[in-house]
Structure 1
């Protein structure tokens, strides 16, 4: 079975949200992509108080100045598509009130005919936590745990009841319900996060930074699942953040997914051989506009399929 291919939707500041998201969503579905994805970046601190990913001195990309809300973006895409799955990679879960996020995801799933995939993470930006979080940064894992539990309760049968630290639902009818259980995927980089995934989530959403590294991580996760007695399959979507360049990258220091379409496809082939279910291709940060995004995405898709991905 061929690896499913997904495409990141245009959320960054160079795009026109109302025009470009529906345009790219329709084009991606027509090209053959299996899914469309969004990410979350709540704000852009200026001056920067913390490096990108919490790494000191690493600057935030300029594209992060004004990233559109992920669920609004997905709703725009849902309205103009029929087949593609609609995923988050990822929502920074502790920036959201658990009950409200569960209800929003359920509503979007109902409206789209059962196409939502919920990729959830804990985030890393202290500034985002200061502005929007429901609890302090130090409690981010506990918030994610409760949010997963609240989602399962809200999406399940009525009456819904839940008694948590943040969320108290005595007994209530909560609708609409998702068309089917919405899969919850986690990046799960640390050992603790991997245990959370194995015990409580449906799937894994790593970042592809090299096929050998990805294969080793996948093996470790499968071993952990066996140790903890998990029998349900782990759904897998690997996110690849490309740095596209029409002229390619000729240096020996080329990073995975950096360079021309042919070089990106070469890396897609290597990552597909790891055996994960789906690859999400993020192109929006290194193209000029929606027209180029559609053109490059179509070329990547066609050449990847021709190469056996």
Structure 2
């Protein structure tokens, strides 16, 4: 460690780095792209005259939002050419993320998919206002709109999200219990066990990115989802094992095939039935590169 103190620009950036990453990730759904946005933010931040900056945190968030918006528009074209279903890049998160209800919901797979239905500007405004509680004036500066326009966009985005927001989910303890039951049934190829833990209306979304085999469309219904997994593993003649973990603030599974990481399985478990109503399986190898290390997410 150097005895020389970091310069003010570096100190400010490092102090808010986790916040900036969280902002970028919630806007993009990609850890790799969020990291690129942080690099672009840093390159612009070091050129700023700090004596003219009243609120360094707000200024950094503004830069990050602008860079994320630029990248989000580019990603839209990539997603249009994506093979099969697109899911956010899963992040291994510390268990304490689940203790922050707002943060955990905002980075959940289910909510991230809802955010995908917003336009880039709507997504930026919604994330900054509803998740990070940033004022309209600061959001206006970040998205290059008037405060009045931002208020209208925020209202429209909130109404859109509320109409698609997942219903009340269960506590992490109940979610883990459901996933454990799913895990046992999957590893023992227990059809009835799968049917017992899957809600009748369960929907499976799998993302192979055209590299790994995955359903090109969502699979709906407990019987179809259970048969999809059991038939697939039987046909391939492989051994499936799973390991509990925490992904995007919620209990999840690392899925291994013949001892090699195959993907990350996240789930949505709803309060009324305590059964799994949503399964999100990311197999695309490009989206698994960050699975080896936990990420620190924060709203502050």
**TM exceeding 0.5:** no
- Which has the larger share of helix? 2
Q: TM-score, normalised by structure 2?
A: 0.26
Report 1 or 2 for greater relative contact order, CA contacts < 8 Å, sequence distance ≥ 6.
2
Q: TM-score, normalised by structure 1?
A: 0.25
Larger Rg: 2
